[in-house]
Every structure is written in structure tokens, then in C-alpha cells.
Amino acid sequence: METLLRVLAALPLAWVHRLGTLAGWLTYGGSPTYRRRFRAQVAQAGVAPADARADQVPPEGMGVWAPFFGRPAYTMTLAARLVQQSGAQPILVWGERLPGGAGYVVRFEAFDEVLPAEVEAQAESAAAVNRAMERLIRACPGQYPREHFGWLGRSLLERGLLWYAPVPRLKALIHVEGDVGLAERSARPVMWLVPHFLALDVAGVATQLFQTRKVGSIYQQQSDPVFDAAMRAGRLRFDGGDIFPRSERALPLIKAIRRGWAFFNLPDMDFGARDADFVPFFGVSAATLLAPSRMARALDMVVQPVVAEMLPGGAGYRVRFLEPWADFPTDDPLADARRMNAWIEQEILRNPAQYLWVHRRFKTRPPGEASFYR
């Protein structure tokens, strides 16, 4: 396996993308388990295809709650107000990216719903917008799985690049945005909140190549000792910190944080009901860790969200170091967990095809609920 990964590390990234896309499509076609898991999670979350997104979640006070794929969604009311004020005829514009770099299709369709703009009818207007978006999304049902599994295959093959490519090449491919140096300057330890997007490992590399603070994280030890050793060696190749098996106690990690290390935290894993609570995630109860809030409060940590994405066409990666949360943690871990999930939802809606839908986010169910994964 190491030989294969080293060969992949030497190839142009666009070639690896093509090979990874093929591998991902073969995985989707050949793995009933992954297909079931993907479909179950996307169905529960009600997430739109990446290239057919409904309008963005509006700021608080700028929308109303209306049904969207059978679940309440906070929906913008601006369209109805503009139609009433201007008398314009709304038109639906639908953009779709074609596979294989073949280009794009843009469609213009008449909007045949009535949009009353009176305050008392805003919920009706929002529901009309959502119904139109649902129709568009259903018009291209196959695009989303193909795109997701294409990105998934690329992320797996690109481990070779992350683990073996020369540092100058990695620095040229990873485009960092935001305050990557916060942990270096902060007098308080920093916790990076990094959701499970497919470029997660790229974010880990960025924290070691673009800033100098030591980094600690927790990882799931692999059942294959050879692959586990290769993964540890690849992730620790820059001598920028350490990763601690989840099976061990958290004490070594806590000691490292107290020595000034930053914590690369993956907050959206389902580790069971212990030290977690059921918090809405796309309207579905999901066992959500309370540890990020409790640890940040106990260790007086600064919490900075980080999101990574893969760019198309061999252009590399983008890692966004967002503004730290000024009012996190609070003295209410459950409220903090709700806020964390809401933020992750917003990031997924920006780029749903690159979220790791094949990990079982809804594995643990409240008492009496059946499993989604059958």
C-alpha cells in the first residue's frame, strides 16, 4: 500500500482526482452498505444536492419557518417582498455542473407559485418558495451521489499526497484563508472545531505547515496494525504534535493542552450516549458530544472553527480558519452543542457533497427509536 500511495503522491493532482473519482463511483456501485448509509443519512438530513441548493439560511429575523422536504426550515421571505414592491415576474434559475469537466447547464423556468407578501402570509410565501426548490432538486436525483462518491474516492487516494509529497508542493496546493496564526499568538490554548468534511486531513496538515504551535488530536485506532502505523506516520510526518487513540483516556491530551498545545477537535462524531445529549442535526435528534463545551470551559480555551474543502480540477484545497467564537463556551453545554450543530449545518449547506455522509452520524438513537441503518 505504501508503494501505491507514494506513486500517487508523485502524480499531478488532476490525475489523482480522476482516479479518485473513478474509485469513488466504483465504491458507490459495488458497496450496498455505503449506498444504504449514504441514502439514509441524506434522507434524514433533508440536504439538497450540491448543485441545486435552495436559498441560503437567512439571518435571524429575516425569514420564517416553512416546510422543506418534510422538515421545518428557516426560509427567506425577501423574494415575496421584492415581487410585491416591483411587480416583477419571478423566474427560477437552475445551475448544474456536468461531470468530467464537460461544462455547465443553466436552466430558466417559470415560477408558477403565488407569493403573497403580506406579513400574515409570509409563511405561505416561504412554503411556496420551498416547494419550487424541492421540484428542482428532484429533477436531478442522480447528480448528488455521483458527486459525493467522486469526492470521497479522491480524498482516499490523496492520502498519498498528504503523507508523502514534498512540503513545498503541499504548501503550494493548500490555500489558507483567515487567521491561521491565532494559536501561535493566543495566551490561552486554542481548540479548532473541524467538522468531518472530506478534506479533514488537509486541515490537519495546514495546522502543522502554516503555524508553529504543537497540535494534539484524537483518532480512531485502525483494526489493521499495518494501516494504523502508516496513518500515524503520515499524520505525524511534520513532527508538529501527536494523535492519541480514542480508546485511551483523555489525560495525555489534556496534559498536552496545558503545556500550550492546540487541540484539533472533530465535534460531529457519534460515540454513543455517554457524555453526549440528543441535539437536533438537520431536524433529526443526533447524539452530540458535550465535551467541546466542557473542555473549553475547564481549560479556558479559545474556540476557532475550521473548514476544509477540495477544489475541482486539480486546483488544490481551501482551508478556512474562521473567526473565533467570542461567546463560546457558555455555562450551558447543551445550548453550546445546539449552536455547534447549527453552525455545522450551515457549513454543510455551503458544500453538501463534500461532507462525510458515509460515517454513521445518526447511529445512536433515543430510547425506543429504530436504527436508520438497515
pLDDT tier, 165 (very low <50, low <70, confident <90, very high otherwise): very high
When pLDDT is cut at 50, 70 and 90, the band that residue 18 belongs to is confident
Q: Once rounded to an integer, what is the mean pLDDT over residues 357-366?
A: 86
DSSP single-letter state for residue 374? -
- Between CA 274 and CA 372 the distance in angstroms is 20
HSE of 281, CA atoms in CB hemisphere, 13 A: 29
Task: Report d(CA 138, CA 150) in Å as an integer.
Answer: 20
| Best CA proximity match to 346, nearest among 79, 44, 47, 38 | 47
pLDDT in tens, 285-312: 899 999 999 999 999 999 999 999 999 8
Average pLDDT, rounded, for the chain? 83
Give the pLDDT score at 180.
96
Four-CA torsion 237, 240, 245, 248, nearest 10 degrees: 140
Among 19-33, 56-70, 157-171, the range of highest mean pLDDT: 157-171
Least confident range from 49-53, 55-59, 85-89, 197-201: namely 49-53
pTM here is: 0.74
The CA-atom distances, in angstroms, between 327 and each of 50, 181, 258, 297 are 31, 20, 22, 11
Residue 135 has pLDDT above 80, yes or no: no
Q: Which residue has the cell 455547465?
A: 104
pLDDT tier for residue 89 given thresholds of 50, 70 and 90: confident
Radius of gyration (Cα) for the chain, nearest Å? 22
Name the nearest CA neighbour of 23 among 137, 149, 116, 121.
149
Q: Which of 68-82, 129-143, 227-241 has the lowest mean pLDDT?
A: 129-143
φ, ψ dihedrals at 145, nearest 5° = -60, -45
Interatomic CA distance for residues 24 and 152, integer angstroms: 6
Residue 139 pLDDT: 55
Say which residue the cell 511534520 belongs to: 238
Please state the domain extents for the chain: 63-139, 150-354
How does 323-333 read in b/e, with b if 16+ C-beta sit within 10 Å? ebbeebbeeeb
- pLDDT tens, 31-61? 778 777 777 777 666 654 433 333 455 556 6
Under a CB-based contact definition with an 8 Å cutoff, are residues 353 and 152 in contact? no
C-alpha dihedral over 186, 264, 229, 255, to 10 degrees?
A: 60
Task: Indicate if the pLDDT at residue 266 is higher than 90.
Answer: yes
pLDDT score of 117? 57
- Return the pLDDT at 93: 74
Q: What is the mean pLDDT of residues 182-199?
A: 95
- The conformation of residue 299, written as its DSSP 8-state character, comes to T
Q: Among 312, 358, 364, 305, which Cα is nearest to 336's?
A: 305
Where is pLDDT greater, at 230 or 38?
A: 230
